[in-house]
Structure 1
Amino acid sequence: MNKKPIIIGIESSCDETAVSIIKNRKVLSNIIIHQNIHRKYGGVVPELASRLHDKNIPIAVKKAIFLAKIKIKQLDAVSFTIGPGMIGSLLVGSSFAKSLSIGLNIPILTVNHIQAHILTHFIKNANINNSYPKFPFLCLVISGGHTQIIKVNDFFKMKVLGSTLDDSVGDTFDKVARILGFHYPGGPMIDTFSKNGNYKKFIFSKPLVNGLNFSFSGLKSNILQLIKNKLKKNPFFINENKSDLCASIQRTIAEILLEKVQKAILKTKICRIALAGGVSANHDIRKMFILFSKKNPKYEIFIPKKIYTTDNGAMIAITGLFKYEKKLFDSIDVHPFSKFEIF
Structure 2
Amino acid sequence: MKFTKLTSSVLAGATLLSIMAPTASFAATSIAGSGDAKTNDNGGTKLPQNDHTEIGISFGDNQSNGNTGYLRLQMVPHTLDFGNHKLLDDSKLDFTADGKNTSLSNNNTKGSFDGTNANQTATLTTGTDTALDAVKGTAWATVVDKQVTHVDPMNGGNDANGKPTSGFHKGTDNVAGAWTLSVKSESPLTAVDNGDPSKPIVDETGAKEEIKDAKLTLSDTQYAQTQNVLGLTKDKNDNTYAKDLAALTTKPTAAPVANITKNISTPLVASGTDMTVAKAIAGEGQGANVFGWLPENIKLTMPAGAAVSNAIYKANLTWTLNSTVA
Task: Give your verdict on TM over 0.5.
Answer: no
Provide TM-score, normalisation by structure 1: 0.23
Q: Which has the larger radius of gyration?
A: 2
- Whose RCO is larger (CA < 8 A, sep 6+)? 1
Provide TM-score, normalisation by structure 2: 0.24
- Relative to its length, the structure with more helix (as a share) is 1
